[in-house]
Amino acid sequence: MTLAQEPVIIAGAGPGGLSLALLLHQRGIPFRVYEAVQELKPLGVGINLLPHSVRVFHDLGVMDTLLAHGVETGTLLFCNKFGQHIKAEPRGKRAGYKYPQISIHRGFLQMILYRALVQRAGGGVVQTGHALESWQDEADGVTVTLRTAAGEAVTVTGRCLIAADGIKSTARQHLYPDEGPPLYSGNLLWRFTTLQPPYLDGRTMVMAGHYKQKLVCYPITNADDDGVALINWIAELYRPDWQQLD
C-alpha cells in the first residue's frame, strides 16, 4: 500500500474529528476515526456556531439539518438585572453575513455529524472503544497504538495522525509533557437547560451582568408542537480563589 492509499488516522469522534472526517470523505482521502468511548451519546449543553464555521457545515452538506435541530440566532441582547434592554446587536444573516449563526445542543451537533458520516462512508470508518495511547513516526507514515475498552492494545498504520481527542488530550500530553493540566481562568460556570415556552422572538441570545458576574441564555431548539423550546442557561461568577473539588 502506497502512502497515498494509507488512511489519515483521526483520534476523537467529537465535532472536530467528525467534521474533518466528512471533509476528507468529500475529497476522496481515506481515513479512519478512533473514539475512546464505547458509545457516542448526545451529551452536553448549548453551543454557538458562528457564520464562518457554518460556512464549513454548508459546504459539507449538513447546514440545513443543523438548522432543523437548532435555532438561527438573529439578535444578541444586553440587559440590566431588571431585564430592561440596554443594547441589541444583530447576529448572523441579520448582521450581513452570508451564513447564519446557529445555536444548537452540542450533542445534537455531534450526532448529526456522526450520522452524516456513517450514511456517506459506512459505519466501519468510526471505531468506538479505541483510545489513543501512543504513536511512532515512520519514514512512510505513522504507527499508532490504541487501547480498547477491554484493555487490548491495537496497532494501526496511516499516513498521519490528527489528534482531536479533547481537553484531556493524550496526544497533547505526549507532545508537551511538562505543560501540566489546563489552567483555571478564574471563571466558574453553571450550565443547564430548561424546557419552556420561548421568550421574545425565540431567536435571541440574552446577556446580563459584567465580567465578574454574568447570566447568559439562548434557545437551542425552536418551539415544538406544544409550544416548548429547549433553552440553554449559563450563570457565571469570577472566583479566582476557587479550588477544584475531588
Q: Which of 215, 131, 115 is nearest to 171 (CA)?
A: 131
Q: Which residues contact 165 (CB under 8 A, 6 or more apart)?
A: 11, 12, 17, 36, 132, 171
Task: Give the pairing of strands 153-158 and 31-34.
Answer: unpaired
The CATH classification number of 64-103+183-238 equals 3.30.9.30
CA distances from 231 to 71, 172, 197, 224 (A): 10, 34, 9, 12
CA–CA separation, 208 and 217 (whole Å): 9
- What are the domain boundaries of the chain? 3-39+128-175, 64-103+183-238
pTM for the structure as a whole: 0.94
For residue 58, what pLDDT band results from cuts at 50, 70 and 90?
very high
**pLDDT exceeds cutoff 90 at 219:** yes
Model confidence over 12-57: pLDDT tens digits?
999 999 999 999 999 999 999 999 999 999 999 999 999 999 999 9
- Superfamily (CATH H level) for 3-39+128-175: FAD/NAD(P)-binding domain (3.50.50.60)
Sign of the Cα torsion 39, 42, 60, 13 reads negative
Model confidence over 105-133: pLDDT tens digits?
999 999 999 999 999 999 899 999 999 99
- Which residue do the cell numbers 467529537 mark? 14
Report yes or no: 144 and 157 within 8 Å, Cβ to Cβ. Answer: yes
Q: Which of 179, 186, 192 is nearest to 231 (CA)?
A: 192
CA–CA separation, 171 and 96 (whole Å): 39
Report yes or no: 3 and 159 within 8 Å, Cβ to Cβ. Answer: yes
Strand-pairing partners, residue 130, are 148
CA atoms within 13 A on the CB side of 208: 13
Higher per-residue pLDDT: 139 or 216? 216
CA–CA separation, 236 and 190 (whole Å): 6
CA–CA separation, 177 and 129 (whole Å): 25
